[in-house]
Structure 1
Amino acid sequence: MPTVTSAPELSKGFAALSAALNLDPHLRRWSAGTAANLLELHAPPAQWSPPAPFEWIDGSRLKDVDLPAGTLGRLREGLRRTWIRSVITWTNSVKGPPDPKDAPWTHAGWHADFQTWIDDSLRLSGVDPQGVAIPVQQWGLSVVFHQRSSRGDYFAKATMPLEPDAATGSSEVRLCQNLALRAPAFLPLITAVRPETGWMLMEDAGGTPLRQCDGSSWESGVRALAALQHRTVGQGLEGCADRRPRELSRRLQEIEDQVRDTPHLSDVERRELLRLMPSFRDVLQSLQDGPVPSSVVHGDFHAGNVRILPDRSVSILDWAYGAVGHPFMDVWTLINRRSPAERDHLRLIYLEQWKDCGPVDKLLDDMLMAQVAGSLSQALTHIMIRRAVGPADRLDFATLPERWCKRALAAWTELDHHHRTRPKCRPGRDSGGLSLASE
């Protein structure tokens, strides 16, 4: 596997160290522009000792080691963020076989098999691979590689082969295959898939990440989302988790249990979330009874997963959290960091394609309620993921359920404010609708 680091001056050193120790390099996680970069070596047998002149040192002795300028700070920061993960991975691989829940790409030999599949898939398509695939991003649920070829760039993605309802409850490969049939214009072109291992090879979508684009491109992004969702209304989408309001309500107790037990919420946040659980259930019931039908939801529709192509069309990436649910749940993830005026404008743009479902005031109510539902959906998903992944990857998800519970609180605050300032839109239990007053 190629050596990858965000500090280019260390690359040759990593490669030399790997060769000197006769150990295979292994990328645990790499993310450009952050300090969360770690290269590990596959652990040797327990009785192994490093050959001369190498020796083991602990962190307290790093200050005495002659390193290039700036390296010590990088090492200290990297160690601070990743030492627990390193210890877990090293200990597990020394003690015996890998944990069956660990991601496959953490196992020796996996990268060679993946590269062979990439090369064979390209050649079957009449394309010659050029060089080896370079890892772009990796974490507990997936790894993405960039592969050059005689016909341009490709991206290969491997996802955790999780059983339905074991974690996200979905298979990204199967979902993307289905979406490619129903709405091919909104996804990168898929070259090859291997569903049993969660492998997928795609042409480079190209374009510019939405986060780098102007306001009109954001309008294109929400319109594309609405158009794709319209095409999946009433469709049975294999590979999708069930995140419809009725299912979320049925499983709300799992979120409540997490809120009660977690150390990652303040006492104030915990009390407020527990107090609002009946109101959350009312929100979900109101969405279930509402006029907007279920469709595919992306689950992580942020501006980094949306590409604006040169012809102004839109490509949507990374369907790892894809599900069937209330379509409006996706919008908040995209617009939550925009100004209040921009959020209102983008909501109206999105709702243009749903106007057949009812008046705008009612749809805006539903959208604000869907922000609460979407946050609860993400909290549930990450609770399930944390149960499903191995100990070395569990750190990636250590506080994500709680983060989404906090976002549910923020979404509730906006919903409550909306109804307090627009009383004409405020339904109540006595009228058969939703009461926003907490009990």
Structure 2
Amino acid sequence: MTTISAPAGWADPQWRTTALDWVAGHLDRHGRRVTGPVEARVRPWSLVWQVPTDAGPYWFKANNPGTRYEAVLLAELARRTPGRVLDPVAVDTGRGWSLLPDGGPSLRDLPEPDPGRWEGVLAEYADLQRAVAGGAGELVALGVPDQRPEVLPALLAGLLDDRAALLLDAEGGLDPATHARLREHLPRFAEDCRRLAAGGVPATLQHDDLHDGNIFVTPADGYRFFDWGDASVAHPFGTLLVTLRSVAHTCSLPGGDPVLLRLRDAYLEPWTDRHDRATLREVAGLAMRVATVSRALSWRRALDTTDPGRAEYAEAVPGWLGELFAPLPV
């Protein structure tokens, strides 16, 4: 059988036929029938189809090689944290394919943005992180990227040597002065990571892109979290970097706004069973700072493709790395 690499192969008729047959076969086993053509959304890191059926829409996702681990992660999360994620109809971990039921409206789809909703969201998400923390090593063994504090300094050093990813010789890339500053910052970064690792909060799954578009709202059952293609095993509090920035942007809140501080503390509350709040807030600041490197690494994985479309997003890698020196949301 011919293997077609992704994402270039996603437009290939043979690949499309194979994927459609896979989707239809698994839906048929669950008593569902495809009723029309799929609607596609293609990005360099994934292809998503909305599949119409006689029981409403289902969703097929194919990941590129850099984010292929999402399929096995979906299956693991459904097993380890039932009710907090969608239960896949099927996954093909070798090809990075997944088939999911419809999750309903997202938090972003609700009529008015309400930062108060995030208190419940973050409490449930923290519970998910704590539930899987004991299996963090198993997730790494399954292919989820290892970005624990202990390994991040070496990952940052390697990223600083990746001239192509940082666009060092291209417009929009990391400027030489920032590149030199980052190299000089490596010892301090290593010390921050050492402090995180020694802080007593275990590494676990970190979504790394938790915003209102990646959370389903289920009135009867709370919230479900999806789109795990940026996730890694890392310090849990790094989540706050993207989440609080997203809330600040959506609700037009300045950095350090009391609403953002309240959300940070709502997220940290589950960990107060073993740590005092002042310590947790200090650790959260360190974790958010370190998470800028995690974001750069996740974008490098997502853009690990020859698809010309990657050029539209390539500045994200140097952009996030430069954020290491930017003000934090809280």
| TM-score under structure 2 length normalisation | 0.86
Highest RCO, 1 vs 2 (Cα 8 Å, sep ≥ 6): 2
- Residue in structure 1 matched with residue 308 of structure 2 by the alignment: 392
- Kindly, what percent of the aligned residue pairs are identical? 25
Change (3 A) 1:109 1:377: same
Match in the other structure for 2:261: 344
Alignment of structure 1 residues 286-325 onto 2, 5 Å? 286-311=195-220, 313-325=222-234
The 5 Å alignment of 1:75-224 reads 100=5, 102-135=7-40, 137-160=41-64, 162=65, 167-168=66-67, 171-210=69-108, 212=110, 213-224=113-124
- The structure having more radius of gyration, on CA atoms, is 1
Does the 8 Å CA contact 1:189/1:205 hold for their aligned counterparts? Answer: no
Confirm whether residue 232 of structure 1 aligns to residue 132 of structure 2: yes
In the other structure, the counterpart of 2:160 is 256
Q: In 2, are the aligned partners of 1:129 and 1:150 still within 8 Å (CA)?
A: yes
Contact 2:289–2:328 at 8 Å: present in 1 too?
no
Displacement of 1:311: 2.6
Runs of at least 5 residues in structure 1 that lack an aligned partner in the other structure: 1-96, 419-439
Counterpart of 1:381 in structure 2 is 298
| Structure 1 position 369 matched with structure 2 position 286 | yes
Question: In structure 1, what is the equivalent of residue 192 of structure 2?
Answer: 283
Residues 1:255 and 1:357: Cα distance change in structure 2 (over 3 Å): farther
Measured at CA, do residues 104 and 406 of structure 1 come closer, stay the same or move farther in structure 2, by a change above 3 Å?
same
In the alignment of these two chains, the number of paired residues is 310
Q: Which residue of 2 aligns with 1:404?
A: 320
SS of the equivalent of 2:31 reads coil
**Is the Cα–Cα contact under 8 Å of residues 260 and 270 in structure 1 kept in the other structure?**
no
CA RMSD, 1 decimal: 2.4
TM-score for the superposition, normalised by structure 1:
0.65
1:79 is matched with none
| Distance across 2 between alignment mates of 1:205 and 1:188 | 7
Supply the distance in 1 between the matched residues of 2:300 and 2:71 (Cα, whole angstroms): 22
Q: How far is the alpha carbon of 1:180 from its aligned partner?
A: 0.4
Q: How far off is 1:190 after superposition?
A: 1.1
Shift in alpha-carbon separation, 1:103–1:286, aligned structure 2, 3 A: farther
The Cα of 1:262 is off from its aligned counterpart by 5.0
CA distance, structure 1, for counterparts of residue 301 and residue 116 of structure 2: 37
Aligned residues of 1:207 and 1:310 also touching (Cα < 8 A): no
Query: What SS class does the counterpart of residue 348 from structure 1 fall into?
Result: helix
Q: Shift of residue 173 of structure 1?
A: 0.7
Matched residue type, 1:311: A
**How many angstroms does 1:369 deviate by?**
0.8
**Larger deviation: 397-406 or 174-183?**
397-406
Counterpart of 2:321, as a letter, is C
**Number of the residue aligned with 1:273:** 182
Superimposed CA distance per residue, residues 365-418 of structure 1 (whole angstroms, 9 cap, x where no aligned partner) = 1111111221101212333444x31142432442111111122221xx449xx8
Structure 1 range deviating more: 248-257 or 282-291: 248-257
Mark the CA change 1:305 to 1:262 in structure 2 (over 3 Å): closer, same or farther: farther
Q: Aligned equivalents of 1:220 and 1:312: distance in 2? A: 12
CA distance in 2, matches of 1:260, 1:225: 35
2:160 touches 2:179 (CA, 8 Å); kept in 1? Answer: no
Aligned match of 1:92: none
Superposition deviation, residue 255 in structure 1: 2.7
Query: Distance between the aligned counterparts of 1:384 and 1:128, measured in 2?
Result: 35
Residues 1:330 and 2:246 are matched in the alignment: no
Query: Would the aligned equivalents of 1:299 and 1:322 in 2 still touch at CA under 8 Å?
Result: yes
Separation in 1 of the partners of 2:30 and 2:309?
34
